[in-house]
Structure 1
């Protein structure tokens, strides 16, 4: 019987007879629901099936543009692999917009038909694999809401190709397909008329009665803040209640900072207010927003700019350029304004801003920005006395549904004569006809939401923008290039043309990164490499304002062979840890983006980013220094490791791995700190390199007690451990003692850590050795550094589980495994692929091996499915080898086999823990290495826990850079 059939039988038994069945099988029935708290959605399951199928069938009544966009890059990748599909849909309830049918026709490897069945309301997805089919059937149509957000029930079933159930579904599909209508342009034109008639019939128009008048203040008071604004207003008021007269609001672009400030002004009720901006084109919009929220008479609102001098108004909206002029500024008294707001306040490092801010003495000064992190050495936090009134970043704003959803597409950049286009490419190649064709192809395929495109294209240089605009216009598009050379009047004129549908695209170089509000933007095209996370988010943010003409914004990012590509997952996720493992996972597991937004990479583009991640050095001194200075600016003092944790900055482990301990790092940062003795430095290094990672809470708890009370009895310590749900068996307790007396470590490490026990265990008591006791008692700086490590380790330990040695899907080094499995000594240097000891056998697998790996160790280990690992022993082993026999008989001998896998050696020394496994003795067979005639034994390892979808997809996906 084949492995497939055995697995199917086990799956059916588990799913329909007994859920406690020992071997669940990989194909058990599964309920698919959207649960953001568990990072689960129906879309992920559909995408995973599509990526590995030979063909697919969709039967869905309703399709939206946004739902289709979630799969567009995947359709394209499948086309490259020769995979085709069919979609059966309908005009039921005239739900589907005509435009979605035109979008479907762009997908050339998918055939589409319209069901003729009356009341067609089916929702099912069928995927053909080798010898079996997967079915997803339930309530989810092909809409972004149904696939990612709505409460939906869908059942996923797997059937052998000869199974009756799949033939029922396929036959039903084929029956309807045979009698359906082929999707054509002529059909769409006819449907457009029907759709327009139906829409017209359903529209109702409401008019105010003749003579109806409103009170502007009463109407304004009816407008209430949203959830984010309400929370921010409370935080701002709390600042004032504490006697603070300054506050900084950090809020993602598009989250309503202007409305928020207007609500706070309404609450504050100043006698006179000043709103400062850096661009004149923002003034009118800001003033209108304030009028909407505050009400009042029109003469109470005035503009102070190069074209207007309304200085007597109650609410003045001024450009910094005009306000900072002597004859303008000094006509106002220093206390003239009770309330001053500074928009885009990260620019306040400029002399003009400082001049104005230093001159006025308002009762309250508010600054607003989306990007407080600057590269100009100006500390914006200091300007506001480190009072962060409120902060909400991109990911949180999306989760709160405050921004327009987006579909990000990382697409392959054009190659000229086999060479990737980049910022150093000759202009003639940047504007070559082939590149223009490539750009048009991508922006057409990925499309936009709404009736017409309203796009921004960010180029790398001025000449490129101007030449491309000419060439695009020659192809029928309506575009204009705007650069820093163009006047404000010209910029405003072009933006108005874009908004009114007279232009399709504005091509620009950086000038629209910020300070421009065009809510109708429905497509952003990035034709330049990512230079910084800040600029990336600024440009993406141009399209994130909600507008009634769009349901989402399309982001098309042309990705080439750029060394800074690693910044893309960092920018999208907001993860500033500089932890390479995190960056890699963010490429495959994008569950950090909530709602109906999606992140998609074409296969070639994805490989380019992984290549950049492999080659970058995230713990380089320059990166660490920038993170350090950024945090120091934010909190207004020298930060310590715990500060990095609570401020979601760089991972403290990244710092100590590059510097041994934090004191050595502070000295590199030229901080004037008291000196440590050689031994104190060695102890701090040991705690930093071995305890800081928080992977076992036992050592942290002991250190906390010793710092607090000096000595701890064994009974007290065990009681503390049990109170925290930690294991207290004899082997674990002995392991902890061997860590602190350094006997666990190699001779090299013992010397590095001071060569004497850090914690003594005498007469049933734990205590620091005399030198450390003196150090923590007499040297406040040393004690503070030790407490900082312990406090940080305590915070990091929350990622793990104290009641078990290892946590599924966390990363562990071979050294970690020796410690956590309670081995007496660190044997990582001799462990290699696996080692049996102390009734445990950890197995380490590098999934993608480099081509230059010696053939004698180039094993073809492979995850056959999320529950089965095809595994090879070391070479020169046979079925008669005692080592092999002990592994095959592990269950009988009560030996626990633990599986650890990493994607490649580029990930470093850490491996993902996949849990315990059991050898399938029936699959064990002797063979030879692929490239050397050496005997080796191959067997299947059956995992106790099925590998989670995101990690399985990451480990098995083909992401190697070309």
Structure 2
């Protein structure tokens, strides 16, 4: 029976049929945001590998189309084309959507003439089968990510009756449909406008006005207001609010001011142009006569107002500041408080004595080590970062496109590229082609373009003007009046683009911006988010903002996934995952990287030195500044600042790291240091819980633990508690499991003996409270890290393991030195295979350059060691026991991706593919070896598959 037949039998005839977990399995597709499962991901997966495709969809929106543009662009480079049959039903599809469709070179679009056309079907032709997805989802972002939709995914071979029916019907409809063209679009625009006149659609602002005739706090603001009230009731006089750009900090400040009812209130900002907007927002919330609200700046001195809005430049002048009694204001609020390390801010804070001081910022972290948290007594009233704000629908959705920058003669744009190449006409044409392809909402750009150099901004602005796109360049030399004038022109539509170098990183709001273009190296994840945030403010009738990031050959490209995901772990595997799997982004936002751009990021991750002492030291002090004490490993895990494993293993263990950076005088014995190193290297990654819960018990056990006690303990925690697992755990903690140089390095690290007795060194170490404190920290951190590991299985699919970890998880009695394992080993009924896919041209790890490959999500091409024949013991084992033994398959993409391998699950050899072959060695000699295909029990997750095979 074929895999397809097995899948169909299980799905439609007998659910007890053993599942093969293949791509052929029929599947119900339902958006489940909480599990990060979306129809969008399935469509992207199918597009990634298809030969051609045909969509028959009634409704299409620009945001739905955007979600697939990168995949379509990558297909275009491979010469793969597709078709889209859509409609004018109810005039749902806007002219701008049709205009966007015309920019996709490998997509032919036709309009159905069928009355009431309401189809929702997606057909993909793959290499050896067809996939059909039908159900309730149109090609809109809501339908692809958020709406509760039902769709079913079916597969068929070429000769399947359903596929023949679908093809016949689609071909028939296609022949009768009208071709989308510029000429057709001219006529449609007129009809669409006429229809909209007769059937007006309420705008966003209309809806807000109808539902909420007054401004009410959103969910975030309500929670923050409650926290601020409680903080004051507890006697605190200062607090800090950390809130992402665009989440309503000014309204929150106004709501809290209304809640507090101050006699005199002072609002301090760093830019004069923000004052009027802030004042207007406060008046909306608080109400009262205009005279209650005043401005204190270089141009206005309305100091008698109850609510005074001042620039830091004016209020910090001695003559201005001294004109107020220190207790004059009972509530002071400082906006963008991350600037408060400047002398002008510290003078203000030292001089005034309000009853309550509130600081607000999106980015409290500072590179100069000034402690903003200390300034506000370490009291954080509320914190909401980008991901949280997107989940709460507080920001405008964004579509991020990581695209490849201009390349000529094999040279890609880099940090050192000469200005002439940045602004030559070929690069300008390239930029415009990409910008117009990825587009913007309603195709009327109001764009901010961030450049690397002032001269680049000026030259590109001129080049865009020459091509009919009104543009201006702004930099730090332009006055505030000039900036405001240019911003006004953009908002009115008289300008399409403002080219700038860092001027708009923060502090200026242009809510109507619908396109952000990044033409510079990412120097800082903070600045990246600030620039991204320029387009995230909601604005009437702006449904999304497009972010187009031109990724060159920059060494700091690894900061892009760091910024977008918020992942600060400094774990390279995490950053690679954040690049190939972007389902972490919430709501109607989407992140997509072109294939080559993705490779540039991977290269940057591979070569970056993420765990330098300088970087780790800066992260350490960032957290220490926040919590006002020496952080423990669990604090780094809790605040998601760095992977504790990276931190602990930098100097063998965390106390050694603290000593290295001058933060600890802790005296630990050689044995205590050795035990902490062992625990940090072997147990802190949290791959098995059994050792951790037993270690917790050992900290208070008098002399010995029995096997019965251990079994009860494991059962109590719902962990595997068979005899082999207990023996393996004891062997680990007694160091008996380890071999070779690793065993030598751990010679003073044994905690117990094989029969459960505590070692004298561990018993003595337990008397040192500092040692116990760090052991408990390791246990707590490791247990939290292990939450994603299967509790009832020795190995977790997509978990990352070193070779020795795998042997330990499988309860092998002894570690094998990695070199002795090589590509595989087997003991009893456990056969373990390790494969590195990309070995490199100068691979020196073996005499033979093996051709191991992932052929599809469930098929592996694998080679034995050389020399081997069909009569070699391992080959005979696989032929005779391969269908019943546990054959575990582990893989990593490149040898320089560290020593961790992804676990892909169990495999079975396809017996009819086992074949003895010969290959040349690097010395030119012929060696025999055996190749075969392995079938994975469960298909590889698409994102991981895409990462491993591209």
For residue 699 of structure 1, report the CA deviation from its aligned partner: 1.2
CA RMSD of aligned residues (A): 1.9
For residue 221 of structure 1, report the CA deviation from its aligned partner: 9.7
Match of 2:876 among 849, 865, 885: 885
Residue 681 and residue 205 in structure 1: after superposition, are their counterparts in 2 closer, same or farther (change >3 A)? closer
Does 2:857 correspond to 1:862? no
Structure 2 unaligned residues grouped into runs of 5+: 204-208
Q: Is the 8 A contact 1:890 1:896 kept in 2?
A: no
Question: What is residue 739 of structure 1 aligned with on the other side?
Answer: 732
For residue 711 of structure 1, report the CA deviation from its aligned partner: 4.5
For residue 416 of structure 1, report the CA deviation from its aligned partner: 4.4
Separation in 2 of the partners of 1:935 and 1:549? 68
Separation in 2 of the partners of 1:53 and 1:515? 46
Structure 1 segment 403-482 matched on structure 2, within 5 A: 403-450=395-442, 452-482=444-474
Question: What is residue 155 of structure 1 aligned with on the other side?
Answer: 152
Residue 403 and residue 930 in structure 1: after superposition, are their counterparts in 2 closer, same or farther (change >3 A)? farther
Structure 1 segment 92-241 matched on structure 2, within 5 A: 92-203=89-200, 222-241=214-233
Q: Is the 8 A contact 1:63 1:141 kept in 2?
A: yes
Structure 2 residue matching 1:565: 3-state secondary structure = coil
Structure 1 segment 296-335 matched on structure 2, within 5 A: 296-335=288-327
Q: Is the 8 A contact 2:731 2:754 kept in 1?
A: no
For residue 421 of structure 1, report the CA deviation from its aligned partner: 2.2
Does 2:944 correspond to 1:954? no
For residue 484 of structure 1, report the CA deviation from its aligned partner: 0.6
Separation in 1 of the partners of 2:454 and 2:400? 25
Does 2:801 correspond to 1:812? yes
For residue 408 of structure 1, report the CA deviation from its aligned partner: 0.6
Separation in 2 of the partners of 1:271 and 1:400? 34
TM-score, normalisation: structure 2: 0.96
Q: What per-residue deviation string (whole Å, max 9, x for no partner) do you get for residues 253-280 of structure 1?
A: 1111111111111111111111110000
Question: What is residue 831 of structure 1 aligned with on the other side?
Answer: 821
Q: What per-residue deviation string (whole Å, max 9, x for no partner) do you get for residues 59-105 of structure 1?
A: 11100011111111221111110000111110001100001111111
Separation in 1 of the partners of 2:853 and 2:452? 43
Structure 1 residue matching 2:366: 3-state secondary structure = coil
Separation in 1 of the partners of 2:388 and 2:629? 27
What is the number of residues matched between the two proteins? 937
Moved more, 529-538 or 945-954: 945-954
Q: Is the 8 A contact 2:671 2:749 kept in 1?
A: no
Does 2:355 correspond to 1:363? yes
Does 2:914 correspond to 1:924? yes
For residue 709 of structure 1, report the CA deviation from its aligned partner: 4.4
Moved more, 248-257 or 846-855: 846-855
Does 2:837 correspond to 1:844? no
Q: Is the 8 A contact 1:271 1:338 kept in 2?
A: yes
Q: Is the 8 A contact 2:406 2:412 kept in 1?
A: yes
Question: What is residue 7 of structure 1 aligned with on the other side?
Answer: 3
Separation in 2 of the partners of 1:546 and 1:929? 62
Moved more, 559-568 or 767-776: 767-776
Structure 2 residue matching 1:79: 3-state secondary structure = helix
TM-score, normalisation: structure 1: 0.95
Separation in 2 of the partners of 1:712 and 1:550? 68
Does 2:40 correspond to 1:43? yes
For residue 862 of structure 1, report the CA deviation from its aligned partner: 2.7
Separation in 2 of the partners of 1:312 and 1:459? 43
For residue 344 of structure 1, report the CA deviation from its aligned partner: 0.6
Residue 451 and residue 56 in structure 1: after superposition, are their counterparts in 2 closer, same or farther (change >3 A)? closer
Q: Is the 8 A contact 1:416 1:429 kept in 2?
A: no
Residue 32 and residue 221 in structure 1: after superposition, are their counterparts in 2 closer, same or farther (change >3 A)? closer
Question: What is residue 278 of structure 1 aligned with on the other side?
Answer: 270
Separation in 1 of the partners of 2:722 and 2:847? 40
Structure 2 residue matching 1:906: 3-state secondary structure = coil
Separation in 2 of the partners of 1:701 and 1:611? 39
Question: What is residue 945 of structure 1 aligned with on the other side?
Answer: 938
For residue 678 of structure 1, report the CA deviation from its aligned partner: 1.4
Structure 1 segment 577-616 matched on structure 2, within 5 A: 577-616=569-608
For residue 594 of structure 1, report the CA deviation from its aligned partner: 1.1
Residue 451 and residue 903 in structure 1: after superposition, are their counterparts in 2 closer, same or farther (change >3 A)? closer
Separation in 2 of the partners of 1:467 and 1:286? 35
Moved more, 804-813 or 860-869: 860-869
Q: What per-residue deviation string (whole Å, max 9, x for no partner) do you get for residues 456-506 of structure 1?
A: 011111111112211211111111111110111111111111111111111
Moved more, 547-556 or 344-353: 547-556
Separation in 1 of the partners of 2:215 and 2:501? 38
Separation in 2 of the partners of 1:721 and 1:354? 56
Separation in 2 of the partners of 1:880 and 1:750? 35
For residue 712 of structure 1, report the CA deviation from its aligned partner: 5.5
Q: Is the 8 A contact 1:705 1:711 kept in 2?
A: no
Q: Is the 8 A contact 1:743 1:825 kept in 2?
A: yes
Structure 2 residue matching 1:934: 3-state secondary structure = strand
Q: What per-residue deviation string (whole Å, max 9, x for no partner) do you get for residues 305-327 of structure 1?
A: 11111111111111000010011
Q: What per-residue deviation string (whole Å, max 9, x for no partner) do you get for residues 12-40 of structure 1?
A: 22222223323534311111111112211
Q: What per-residue deviation string (whole Å, max 9, x for no partner) do you get for residues 187-208 of structure 1?
A: 11111111111111123899xx
Separation in 1 of the partners of 2:241 and 2:228? 9
Q: Is the 8 A contact 2:917 2:929 kept in 1?
A: yes
Match of 2:653 among 657, 661, 676: 661
Structure 2 residue matching 1:302: 3-state secondary structure = strand
Q: Is the 8 A contact 2:103 2:437 kept in 1?
A: yes
Structure 1 segment 483-494 matched on structure 2, within 5 A: 483-494=475-486
Q: Is the 8 A contact 1:77 1:603 kept in 2?
A: yes
For residue 451 of structure 1, report the CA deviation from its aligned partner: 5.6
Structure 2 residue matching 1:922: 3-state secondary structure = helix
Separation in 1 of the partners of 2:302 and 2:289? 14
Q: What per-residue deviation string (whole Å, max 9, x for no partner) do you get for residues 728-756 of structure 1?
A: 11111111111122111124333322446
Q: Is the 8 A contact 1:138 1:155 kept in 2?
A: yes
Separation in 2 of the partners of 1:426 and 1:126? 47
Structure 1 segment 428-827 matched on structure 2, within 5 A: 428-450=420-442, 452-711=444-703, 713-714=705-706, 715-755=708-748, 757-760=750-753, 766-777=756-767, 779-827=768-816
Structure 1 residue matching 2:53: 3-state secondary structure = strand
Residue 220 and residue 489 in structure 1: after superposition, are their counterparts in 2 closer, same or farther (change >3 A)? farther
Structure 1 unaligned residues grouped into runs of 5+: 207-215
Match of 2:385 among 370, 393, 404: 393
Q: What per-residue deviation string (whole Å, max 9, x for no partner) do you get for residues 217-240 of structure 1?
A: xx9994221111112222222222
Residue 712 and residue 522 in structure 1: after superposition, are their counterparts in 2 closer, same or farther (change >3 A)? farther
Separation in 2 of the partners of 1:901 and 1:417? 35
